[in-house]
Structure 1
Amino acid sequence: MIEVYSWPTPNGHKVHIMLEECGLPYRVIPVDISSGAQFEHKFLSISPNNKIPALIDPAGPDNKPISLFESGAILLYLAGKTGKFLPSDTAGKYEVLQWLMFQIGAVGPMLGQTHHFRIYAPEKIKYAIDRYSSEAQRLYKVMNTRLAGSTYLGGSHYSIADIAVFPWLRSWKNQGVELSDYPHLKGWFDEISARPAVLRGLGVMSEQHKPLTDEKARENLFGEKQYRRH
């Protein structure tokens, strides 16, 4: 059975949703990133960047165990393992992959910084808030324009590109965005929100989600501990 080391964050949800969509049996090992569990030696041995999620599949390629970190790599691995949510034809595959890379290189990092400076930063820096809020709005516009002419981000079929992007947009209010301003994106978002596998994936560890309020949690997530060698 696949083991997933994770926590209920957008990157964690990407993998939970993919596993549910693929119908693969899996077991979740919670990694409480607010308590510093991501710095424990066992977790670092499979995720050297001390970030969730990470995955161990005992029945990997050639039926040998494989260990993976980085949610984008995990989505690609699971798509390859099951033959689902990534087209087999070359043109279709790269159409999906460019939007997966868009999530990895733009949506995740930029919306993450938007969350940080709008909500979590100990001091409110207007320049940073304006910069990242504007970038969030720009990215939403890019996706809205794409979906004006395409059923899904990667083309005519639901794919790992949609699975990767969707969890990051659930906090649109925190990003200084009004989703109704992007009608094509909102229609896509509402459709994906209703998928049974998506609902199951979002439910994984949902009871463990908690607001970031104490200083110890802030230190574990944003403090100097991030920059020490482990």
Structure 2
Amino acid sequence: MIDLHYWPTPNGHKVTMFLEEAGLPYRIHPVNIGAGDQFKPDFLQIAPNNRMPAIVDHEPAGGGAPVSLFESGAILLYLAEKTGRFIPADIRGRAEVLQWLFWQMGGLGPMLGQNHHFTQYAPEKVPYAIDRYVNETNRLYGVLDRRLADRAFVAGPDYSIADMACYPWIVPYEKQGQNLDEHPNLKRWFAAIQARPGTQAAYAKGPEVNPNLGQTMSEEAKKVMFGQTAANTKR
């Protein structure tokens, strides 16, 4: 059994997508990031960066003590290696998946996250910041579109953890100021993943865990999420 500490955000969806695709048994422990659950001592024991998702695998390969992990990319790689699924066994195929997984973790996620912040949540509109991140989002969409011109999925012919990592960040494309019609290869890929039963089951968890999903974030929640420093982070 896997304990999943989760809230329905792009990084949270990555992990439920894998778990649903692989059919692994798991229990969701909600981490309400707007209420500050990410600062609770028990959660910080497994996620010292006070970010979700995090997992505890009570049945790791080879037995022994439970394994806990934070960081969504590390979790996807761990689960792929645990199950032998969604990552190729050969060195070249594995390298293709890993480079795109790290591309998402180092580029797509952080840049689109800043897009979300400045276009949706910032207390004042900063035109330079909005233009900077909306344009960078468009550039990254273009990278994916070109990559997908001659292959079904990001790392090749087969669905992999690279696709699971990227897809949730494309879901809110309209809020990011993007038009999928401008990226036909990306649009085709997006529709294919959206139609997968595993994706649909994963996204169905969102409103179950957070009935207020999609509603405007309160000012108090914004203070909790965006006002963190080393000195004021709750412990």
In the superposition, the TM-score normalised over structure 2's length comes to: 0.95
Q: Which runs of 5+ in 1 are unaligned?
A: none
Match of 1:213 in 2: 217
Match of 2:129 in 1: 128
Cα distance change on mapping 1:191 and 1:26 into 2, 3 Å: same
Paired with 1:119 and 1:154, the residues of 2 have a C-alpha distance of: 31
Paired with 1:170 and 1:215, the residues of 2 have a C-alpha distance of: 24
Structure 1 stretch displaced more, 80-89 or 148-157: 148-157
SS in 2 for 1:5: strand
- How many matched pairs? 230
Instruction: Deviation per CA, 1:34-93: give whole Å up to 9, x if none.
Output: 111001101111000000100001111421210000000000010001000000000000
RMSD, aligned CA: 1.2
Query: Which residue, out of 209, 215, 226, partners 1:222?
Result: 226
1:115 corresponds to which letter in structure 2? H
Q: Which runs of 5+ in 2 are unaligned?
A: none
Match of 2:98 in 1: 97
Contact 1:212-1:218 at 8 Å conserved across structures: no
1:41-56 → structure 2 map (5 Å cutoff):
41-56=41-56
Q: CA deviation at 1:226?
A: 6.8
Paired with 1:157 and 1:202, the residues of 2 have a C-alpha distance of: 21
Cα distance change on mapping 1:164 and 1:227 into 2, 3 Å: farther
Cα distance change on mapping 1:81 and 1:40 into 2, 3 Å: same
Match of 2:72 in 1: 71
Cα distance change on mapping 1:227 and 1:124 into 2, 3 Å: farther
Match of 1:31 in 2: 31
Q: CA deviation at 1:227?
A: 5.6
Q: CA deviation at 1:210?
A: 4.3
Cα distance change on mapping 1:93 and 1:176 into 2, 3 Å: same
In the superposition, the TM-score normalised over structure 1's length comes to: 0.97
Q: CA deviation at 1:206?
A: 1.9
Match of 1:174 in 2: 175
1:51 corresponds to which letter in structure 2? R
